[in-house]
Amino acid sequence: MSTTIRDHDASASRPPTDRSGPAHGAPRHTRGSGTLAGTGTLVRFMLRRDRIKLPAWVAGLSLFVIYIGAALPQIAPTEADLAAASPLLSQPIGRMFAGPAYGMDPPSYETFFAGGYTLYLYLLAALMNILLISRHTRVEEQSGRAELVRANVTGRHARLTAALVVAVITNLAAAVAVTAMALANDFATTGSLLVGVGVALTGMTFAGVSAVTAQLSEYSRSASGLAGLVLGVSFALRALGDMAAEGGSTLSWFSPLGWASQTAPYVLDRWWPLLLSIGLAAATTALAFGLQDRRDLGAGLLAARPGRAEAGPALGTVWGLAARLQRGPVLAWGFAIAVLGVVDGLFTQVMLDSAENMPDALQQVFGAGELAAGYLAFLSVFSGYLTAAFIVYAVQGLKAEEDSGRAEAVLATPTGRTAWGLSHVLAIGLGAVAVMLVTGLLVGVAAAGVTGTGALVGDGFLAHVNTLPAALVTLGICTLLVGWAPRLLAPVGWTLVGVMIFVGNFAALLEVPDWVLTLSPLHHVAQVPVEPVQWLPLLWLGLVAVVAVALGLVGLRRRQISARS
């Protein structure tokens, strides 16, 4: 089936008999005409397909709100307790991870919730919309299903419009749920509405961004990766802008994530920053429709480079092919993680300068008297989150090879399943090792450069080496899922990353049970260089990773390999 069929208006290409009704024996056509014909049917179809995913996303967002609202009074029973914890959010590092810290002098439960946790609601809403739009547009074209749908009575813009309508419905549901849960916590009405609307409009902003990137690349992973890159840059701009000054700086206003934070719920209650979100969502949506008119169905505006007429010797082996397929994700994720590590390392001197005003609770996080070492240990854990996320993303590429049918072509040659799976796992594992080691070295060099302490180079490198086995446990678990339950790879893999971030950043503050802490592999490593390296936990983590990979490869040999597993 050709993938270069010109994507022209369905009403123009249809024979005249299509206008009067379906041909004998053909399925009944959807009502409507023009470029939006069939949009309603596609909306219902997409909602049917996502009947579990989207309610789960919305439920997760609302449960996060109700949990934080219930936990804060338990952690800080009095206003004095809450005021003592507020420097965790108002310090530069706290603002980097939480937002501009409005309403921290003195804080209330609702301002503490808005200052410390709403940013993560906005991040989750952005991710939800990136995945939603990519799943219903570019993935459908890449798989060929969109071409089958276009063979029926559907307009040129029907699929993109339907995906955006589903995004609107989902974001409205998220806004209602988040607002209701905030009100259930006895938070102020206007601020709660601002948080809910901020979640919805941030989501729609990145739905528009994802709609644009879906027009640029003919591959779903590239389209999602470009949208994810925009989200990463937005987070970095907001983080740097919010670190510069309490309440944010000019740089904060260049980030779509910063606009929702600048509404300052429960403090200033400003609605007008959300006009920026509406404007960007409208502009990117219009751009996406304009770009769609300029490309063929199945193609992207950024044309894939033609390959060489003859492959190199390395591509003649399964190991070389796996390395070539994983090279792009390794370079893209590795560059982003390393750059973020360098930026964080350059703030080491800022941390030391603010040590005198730092509260006891924050000093305990970074190791009290050894503040620079504690900060490097914290950065190594942060790199561990990102590397674990890279691993989940990269292993999904292995499943994509199977879903697309390309794996069957490789396995039709004298190549065993174990070698095929191991080649990808090894390429991902070596990529993760390289990312952590390079990032650790660069973090140490950056910290040493701003402080003039050369020993921090070795400390930063050693901290990342210490964290590496915990990150590789993610690779073992993902391989295990690919071997035995490939459908669970994405939900379980990303949940594991979420658990690692939650345990590392919020578990101590929320006083969660100990068994929750043990779910994060990063919880089991020592805080190097504040503490000496503890080899036994590292050996256990390495053993778990190796055994899980081995069991996953066994499962890969035993189950059926087929497209759409």
Structure confidence by residue, pLDDT tens digits, 414-435: 889 999 999 999 999 999 999 9
pLDDT at residue 395 above 90? yes
Query: Is it the case that residue 15 has pLDDT exceeding 60?
Result: no
Taking the mean position of all CA atoms in its chain, how far away is CA 75?
29
Is the residue at 464 inside a domain?
Answer: yes
Query: Is pLDDT at 136 greater than 80 in this prediction?
Result: yes
497 assigned to some structural domain: yes
Q: How confident is residue 3, by pLDDT bands cut at 50, 70 and 90?
A: very low
**Same-domain check for residues 294 and 366:** no
CA 550 → CA 163, 373, 543, distances in Å?
40, 36, 11
pLDDT(30) > 50 = no
Higher-confidence residue: 182 or 240?
A: 182
Does residue 200 fall inside a structural domain?
yes
Residue 173 has pLDDT above 50, yes or no: yes
Please tell me which residue, 379 or 510, carries the higher pLDDT value: 379
Quick one: DSSP state of residue 211?
A: H
Q: What is the chain's length?
A: 565
State the Cα–Cα distance between residues 432 and 329, nearest whole angstrom: 10
Across all residues in the chain, what is the average pLDDT?
Answer: 85
* CA-wise closest residue to 442 among 348, 510, 524, 355: 348
Secondary structure tally for the chain: helices H, strands E? 26, 0
Pair (282, 370) in one structural domain? no
Provide the Cα torsion 100, 103, 108, 114; round to 10°: -30
Residue 162 has pLDDT above 90, yes or no: yes
In a domain, 423, yes or no: yes
Asked if 403 and 462 sit in the same domain, the reply is yes
Among residues 565, 536, 498, the alpha carbon closest in space to that of 56 is found at 498
End of a domain among 301, 328, 363? 301
% pLDDT > 90, the chain: 46
Q: Phi, psi at residue 456, to the nearest 5°?
A: -70, -20
Mean pLDDT of 272-298: 94
- Asked if residue 511 has pLDDT above 80, the reply is no
| C-beta separation of 326 from 424 below 8 A | yes
Q: Which two tokens stand for residue 248?
A: 């944010």
CA neighbor of 136 nearest in space, from 44, 205, 4: 44
Least confident among 83-97, 171-185, 464-478: 83-97
Assess whether 239 and 378 both reside in one domain.
no
Which residue from 212, 203, 210 is spatially nearest to 288, judged by alpha carbons?
A: 212
Q: Report in angstroms the alpha-carbon separations of 59 from 162, 200, 335, 461, 495.
A: 22, 14, 34, 40, 14
Tokens of 546: 């190796």
Confidence (pLDDT) at 565: 44
Q: Are residues 130 and 190 in the same domain?
A: yes
Last residue of a domain, one of 251, 269, 301: 301
| DSSP designation for 305 | P
**Pair (295, 357) in one structural domain:** no
Which residues constitute the domain of residue 285?
42-301
Q: pLDDT at position 366, please?
A: 60
For residues 287 and 336, membership in a common domain is answered with no
**Quick one: pLDDT at residue 191?**
94
Which residue, 278, 301, 324, sits at the end of a domain? 301
Q: What is the pLDDT of residue 219?
A: 83
Q: Are 167 and 201 in contact (CB under 8 A)?
A: no
The distance in angstroms from the start CA to the end CA of the chain is: 21
Determine which of 119-133, 202-216, 295-309, 520-534 has the lowest per-residue pLDDT on average: 295-309
What is the average pLDDT across 97-126?
89
Which whole number is the average pLDDT over 337-360? 75
More confident residue, 508 or 273: 273
129/294 Cα distance (integer angstroms)? 24
Are the beta carbons of 155 and 39 closer than 8 angstroms? yes
104, part of any domain: yes
Across the range 397-419, mean pLDDT stands at: 87
Within a domain: 259: yes
Give residue 483's pLDDT. 93
> Which class for 238: exposed (0-12), middle (13-18), buried (19 or more C-beta within 10 A)?
buried
| Contacts with 373 (C-beta within 8 Å, 6 or more apart), sequence order | 367, 459, 529, 530
pLDDT of 359: 57
Give percent of the chain with pLDDT exceeding 70.
Answer: 90
The 3-class SS string of 271-319 reads CCHHHHHHHHHHHHHHHHHHHHCCCCCCCCCCCCCCCCCCCCHHHHCHH
Q: Are 288 and 215 in contact (CB under 8 A)?
A: yes
Answer whether residue 30 is part of any domain.
no
pLDDT for residue 273 is more than 50 = yes
In terms of Cα–Cα distance, which of 438, 433, 417 is closest to 474? 433
Higher-confidence residue of 250 and 15: namely: 250
Q: Average the pLDDT over each of 10-24, 144-158, 379-393, 423-437 and give the range with the smallest value.
A: 10-24
Q: What is the mean pLDDT of residues 536-557?
A: 95
How many CB atoms within 10 Å of residue 314?
11
Residues 6+ apart with CB under 8 A from 481: 488, 489, 492, 493, 552
Residue 9 clears pLDDT 60, i.e. is over it: no
pLDDT at 564: 54
User: Which of 116, 143, 132 shows the shortest CA–CA distance to 1?
Assistant: 143
Whole-number pLDDT of residue 364: 61
Is-contact 371 355, C-beta < 8 A?
yes
Residue 21 falls inside a structural domain: no
- Tell me, yes or no, whether 237 and 353 share the same domain: no
Task: Looking at the structure, tell me whether residues 263 and 361 fall in a common domain.
Answer: no
Q: What is d(CA 276, CA 258) in angstroms, rounded to the nearest whole number?
A: 10
Are residues 158 and 83 located together in one domain of the fold? yes
Q: How far is CA 256 from CA 59, 278, 291, in A?
A: 24, 10, 22
Q: Indicate the number of domains in the chain.
A: 2
Indicate whether 360 and 269 sit together in one domain. Answer: no
Q: Residues 450-485: pLDDT tens digits?
A: 888 889 999 999 999 999 999 999 999 999 999 999
Do both 324 and 275 map to the same domain? no
Residue with the larger pLDDT of the pair 354 and 347: 347
